[in-house]
């Protein structure tokens, strides 16, 4: 009698880990911005610049992190990254100026938004093949729901104990939840426990074909058009969605929303993500992906236009819901297409390169929006102006069919 397939349990645990990267994600950091400005005597432009520098420097480590994941396995990598992430959050509680704040941004962006998200995604991808899109769609949906609760929880905790102690409580959460999950619950690959991706029967027990392990070298993937079309869709979304989330309090403040009300508006994003993430998973598994990158870019342009025009409560809820839908589709698309197009043999390395580009782009987003706001007079104007970029990118994505290379 075969053992019960462990992949669904691994999926659940990796999804929780992914969701708890929230304090290192832009939606988590955004609720601290005004407190940084007031307590440390910094301007929004200075904070945005520090965030960009910290994120940029953190992104430079991700290709190396990807190679280390391939070399040492997802379990050891996740334990190490989670432990360091908890220490980074602890450090954030004691920042005393722009330099210390920038260093703190480097730690939490590299370890939370970058490395911990990367190893969680790789973990899920290794346990599924034919149902990878579906599995990643579930993971992105539930983790986004967890992340959407993070800014609300952080905002409430700040009101109760102050922003410095809130960082300590976030660190404690990672230490008592994510580290044990990583050590006791994660398994490197199905083969480590005598199983196959998707829970497929071993050879001789089933007539269904089993996908062979395969994968191209990272250098070859980086030379393909397919990689760069996917990178364009995911990186531009990372840049502009990070900018919207980072400045959400100020953006919605221009429409008369309080800080708490603006933080609550992260929650409608979950509704959209519940549609977008699994919907894209079905597309990847069943339909095909020829036009998917361009479609997500057009959806991003619509998000930005809604951000620049919505002012009523209903309008802002519609904007936040669409924002979640678009973000959900892109997260699933990027995570699912890399192993589908380039295989799993060097998945960590290739996913690390893609994540590097995404984090690099996210570093530019907040400062780009901040500078555009200075030039145009409002964040609403900045959002509308930036809607041009994804339209141009969508045209490029449609200019020629991406042709990934598969090597056994």
| Spatial CB neighbours of 192, under 8 Å, sequence gap ≥ 6 | none
SS3 at position 407: coil
The tens-digit pLDDT sequence of the chain (408 residues) is 557 899 999 999 999 999 999 999 888 998 899 899 999 999 888 998 898 899 889 888 988 998 899 889 999 999 999 999 999 999 999 999 999 999 999 999 999 988 999 999 999 989 988 888 888 888 888 887 888 789 889 999 999 999 999 999 999 999 999 999 999 999 998 988 888 888 876 655 544 444 446 777 888 888 888 888 888 888 999 899 888 888 888 888 888 777 777 767 767 777 787 777 777 777 766 656 677 888 889 999 999 999 888 888 888 888 888 888 888 888 788 777 888 888 877 888 888 888 888 878 877 888 888 889 989 988 889 999 999 999 999 988 887 666 555 544
Q: Is residue 52 part of a domain?
A: yes
Q: At what angle do helices 117-127 and 313-342 cross, to 10 degrees?
A: 60
CB atoms under 10 Å from CB of 389, counted, come to 17
Contact between 367 and 51 under an 8 Å Cβ cutoff? The reply is yes
Burial profile 351-365: b = 16 or more Cβ within 10 angstroms, e = fewer:
bbbbbbbbbbbbbbb
Q: Is residue 2 part of a domain?
A: no
162: left (phi over 0), alpha (psi -120 to 50) or beta: left
Tokens for 46? Answer: 């200075």
Instruction: Tell me how far apart the alpha carbons of residues 202 and 284 are, in angstroms, rounded to a whole number.
Output: 25
pTM above 0.85, yes or no: no
370: left (phi over 0), alpha (psi -120 to 50) or beta: alpha
Tokens for 252? Answer: 């919605």
Which structural domain, as residue segments, surrounds residue 386? Answer: 7-200+211-397
Q: Residue 140 sits in a domain of what CATH number?
A: 1.20.1250.20
Q: 205: which DSSP letter?
A: S
Q: Is residue 24 part of a domain?
A: yes
Q: Is residue 403 part of a domain?
A: no
Q: Is residue 305 part of a domain?
A: yes
Sign of CA dihedral 226, 228, 229, 231: positive
Q: Is residue 405 part of a domain?
A: no
Give how far the C-alpha of residue 404 lies from the chain's centroid of Cα atoms, to the nearest Å.
23
| Spatial CB neighbours of 326, under 8 Å, sequence gap ≥ 6 | 237, 241, 272, 276, 296, 299, 300, 302, 303
DSSP bridge pairs for 343: 215
Contact between 137 and 327 under an 8 Å Cβ cutoff? The reply is no
Contact between 36 and 255 under an 8 Å Cβ cutoff? The reply is no
Tokens for 342? Answer: 């380039």
- Number of domain units in the chain: 1
Instruction: Tell me how far apart the alpha carbons of residues 362 and 59 are, in angstroms, rounded to a whole number.
Output: 9
The burial class, CB within 10 Å (0-12 / 13-18 / 19+), for 100 is middle
Q: 44: which DSSP letter?
A: H
Q: Is residue 406 part of a domain?
A: no
Q: Is residue 404 part of a domain?
A: no
Q: Smallest Cα–Cα separation from 171: which of 104, 238, 119?
A: 104
| Measured CA distances, 195 to 8, 122, 202 (Å) | 13, 17, 7
């Amino acid at each position: 009698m075969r053992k019960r397939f462990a992949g669904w349990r691994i999926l659940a645990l990796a999804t929780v880990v992914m969701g708890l990267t929230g304090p290192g994600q832009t939606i988590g950091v955004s609720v601290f911005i005004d407190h940084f400005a007031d307590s440390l005597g910094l301007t929004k432009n200075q904070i945005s610049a520090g965030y960009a520098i910290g994120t940029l420097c953190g992104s430079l480590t991700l290709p190396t992190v990807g190679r280390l994941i391939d070399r040492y396995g997802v379990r050891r990598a996740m334990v190490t990254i989670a432990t360091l992430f908890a220490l980074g959050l602890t450090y954030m509680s004691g920042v005393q100026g722009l330099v210390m704040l920038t260093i703190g941004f480097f730690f939490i962006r590299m370890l939370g938004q970058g490395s911990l998200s990367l190893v969680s995604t790789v973990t899920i991808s290794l346990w599924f093949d034919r149902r990878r899109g579906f599995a990643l769609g579930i993971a992105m949906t539930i983790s986004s729901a967890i992340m959407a609760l993070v800014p609300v929880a952080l905002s409430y905790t700040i009101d109760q104990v102050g922003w410095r102690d809130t960082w300590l409580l976030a660190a404690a959460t990672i230490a008592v939840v994510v580290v044990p999950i990583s050590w006791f619950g994660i398994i490197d690959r199905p083969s480590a426990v005598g199983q196959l991706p998707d829970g497929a029967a071993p050879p001789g027990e089933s007539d269904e074909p089993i996908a062979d392990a395969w994968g191209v070298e990272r250098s070859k993937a980086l030379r393909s058009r397919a990689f760069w079309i996917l990178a364009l869709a995911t990186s531009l979304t990372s840049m502009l969605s990070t900018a919207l989330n980072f400045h959400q309090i100020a953006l919605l403040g221009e429409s008369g929303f309080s800080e708490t009300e603006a933080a609550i508006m992260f929650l409608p994003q979950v509704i959209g993500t519940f549609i977008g993430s699994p919907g894209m998973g079905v597309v990847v598994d069943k339909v095909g992906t020829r036009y998917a990158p361009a479609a997500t870019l057009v959806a991003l342009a619509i998000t930005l236009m809604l951000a620049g025009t919505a002012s009523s409560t209903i309008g802002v809820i519609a904007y936040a819901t669409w924002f979640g839908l678009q973000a959900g589709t892109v997260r699933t698309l990027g995570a699912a297409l890399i192993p589908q197009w380039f295989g799993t043999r060097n998945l960590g390395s290739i996913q690390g390169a893609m994540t590097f580009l995404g984090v690099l782009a996210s570093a530019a987003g907040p400062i780009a929006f901040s500078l555009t706001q200075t030039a145009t007079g409002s964040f609403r104007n900045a959002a509308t102006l930036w809607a041009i970029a994804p339209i141009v990118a969508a045209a490029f994505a449609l200019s020629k069919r991406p042709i990934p290379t598969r090597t056994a």
